Amino acid sequence: MHPGTPNSTHRTCLVPPQRLFLEGMRTVDVSLGPRSYPIFIGTKLLPSLGRHCAKLGLGRRCAVISDSNVARRYAKTALASLRAAGFEPVLITVPAGEKSKNLQTVLRCCGQLARHRLERNSFIVALGGGVVGDLAGFVAAAYLRGIAFVQVPTTLLAQVDSSVGGKVGVNLPAGKNLVGAFYQPRLVLCDLSALATLPARQLRAGLAEVIKYGIIRDAALFARLEKDLESLLALDPAALAGIVARCCEIKAGVVGQDERESGLRAILNFGHTIGHAIEAVSGYGKYLHGEAIAIGQVAAARLSVALSGLSAGEARRIETLLARAGLPVAIPLSARQQTRLLEAMRLDKKVSGGRTRFVLARRIGRVEAGYAAPPGLIAKVLRQAGRARHHPPHHGSR
């Protein structure tokens, strides 16, 4: 069955956290019945891309979609690996950055796929960070009503979060990811070696999602991050492999139980309601996704203290860890910007009955979805954020 075909079968089968490396590689399975797929995690995996794709029984023609920065570093290796495995790949490059994640870029990519005569048994390789993965996945879901795709995430954020779970889509001026689909990849190849060339700002942005997994599902992971944060920032291979694998296990477990966000999967959005609004209001560029989500998580923690029983001490732990990771924990806002942010939140996908719904924490390691915060309390939290004098770091891209 095609990876995008609806099916009600959901089962959870996680690789145990203690699983050792097999030939330098860890494997986490995303168990979704006929749409199940593996996540491979290790170093120097990109040269094996073609070999892994050859096991999927796909057609010879394929396209590698990447951005201008990532393609410069890694497209040659990806294309050579695919050719060595008998495929006929073509490279499609889009401008780097969140502003490429739109319907105009989707149309341009689809046009190039048609010119290169990709067919229904052809496939797409998404080579890049979260923007490329979301964009290329949506192109795969739309072209010829759906062709296969493979995720090759090259940023920490994409490896632990956006490449897994099948959420694909693009932005509208009105809001983040408002056009998209649930469409699962055939495999995910996380080459940790790619993180060595990642700018420090991008690495820190990825840590926002790593920290989120500790908050929502694993208090021991959160404590481990408090202890080993410097090792992660120093790109210690053993620390990275364990953390990336654990985050993928958590997400695979959640997605395996709730593929289409009808319930449990909503917990993955902790901090995202305000974070996505920050991205939209700031024009998809001033803040990286992880930076906006870090601010959103601090705001969600403050709401949690008021509404869901999170202790003030644990809220401080959340803010402290995000700050230690070098992430912004607040955003300076004028009264007009606060109003715009509230308006953007009303366009969030989690709005129900006209009310913005939040994922809030009861304690570190346990969150619940569906909280409707009083408008006055949201405004108070935003005012707290507005008093900060923190600005995002200077841009760095790859």
Confidence check: pLDDT of 222 > 60: yes
Band of pLDDT at residue 350, cut at 50, 70 and 90: low
Confidence check: pLDDT of 285 > 80: no
Which token pair is 226? 């408090």
> What mean pLDDT is reported for the chain?
89
Angle CA 305–207–209, to nearest 5: 60
Task: Determine the Cα–Cα distance for residues 102 and 167; give it in Å rounded to an integer.
Answer: 15
Region 327-331: mean pLDDT is 92
Percent of the chain with pLDDT over 70: 89
Which token pair is 367? 């969150």
Q: Which of 136-150, 312-326, 348-362 has the lowest mean pLDDT?
A: 348-362
Band of pLDDT at residue 392, cut at 50, 70 and 90: very low
Where in the chain are the domains? Answer: 25-198, 210-386
Question: What's the confidence (pLDDT) of residue 10?
Answer: 31
Largest Cα span, the chain: 61
Q: Per DSSP, what are the bridge partners of residue 128? A: 153
Q: What is the pLDDT of residues 81-110, one digit of tens each?
A: 999 999 999 999 999 999 999 999 999 999
Q: How far apart are the first and last CA of the chain?
A: 36
Which token pair is 360? 């809030």
Task: Determine the Cα–Cα distance for residues 179 and 170; give it in Å rounded to an integer.
Answer: 6
Q: What is the pLDDT of residues 361-390, one digit of tens each?
A: 999 999 999 999 888 898 888 877 666 544
Q: CB 297: neighbour CB atoms within 10 A?
A: 30
Q: With CA atoms as reference, report the closest residue to 286 among 206, 395, 184.
A: 395
Question: What's the confidence (pLDDT) of residue 11?
Answer: 31
Confidence check: pLDDT of 267 > 80: yes
Question: What's the confidence (pLDDT) of residue 184?
Answer: 98
- The more confident residue out of 395 and 351 is 351
Please tell me if the domain spanning 25-198 has the same topology as the one spanning 210-386: no
Confidence check: pLDDT of 250 > 80: yes
Task: Determine the Cα–Cα distance for residues 152 and 134; give it in Å rounded to an integer.
Answer: 12
Q: What is the pLDDT of residues 56-73, one digit of tens each?
A: 999 999 999 999 999 999
> Is the pTM of the predicted complex or chain greater than 0.85?
yes
List, by residue number, the catalytic residues: 145, 167, 209, 251, 261, 265, 269, 272, 276, 289
Q: Per DSSP, what are the bridge partners of residue 168? A: 181
Region 237-266: mean pLDDT is 94
Q: Which of 215-224, 233-242, 291-300, 350-359 has the lowest mean pLDDT?
A: 350-359
Which token pair is 212? 């989120």
* CATH number for the domain whose boundaries are 210-386: 1.20.1090.10
Confidence check: pLDDT of 394 > 90: no
Question: What's the confidence (pLDDT) of residue 15?
Answer: 36
Percent of the chain with pLDDT over 90: 75
- The more confident residue out of 342 and 211 is 211
Confidence check: pLDDT of 44 > 60: yes
Q: Phi, psi at residue 191, to the nearest 5°?
A: -90, 105
Confidence check: pLDDT of 397 > 50: no
Question: What's the confidence (pLDDT) of residue 22?
Answer: 39
Which token pair is 122? 């052809």
Question: What's the confidence (pLDDT) of residue 71?
Answer: 98
* CATH number for the domain whose boundaries are 25-198: 3.40.50.1970
Q: CB 49: neighbour CB atoms within 10 A?
A: 29
Question: What's the confidence (pLDDT) of residue 243?
Answer: 96
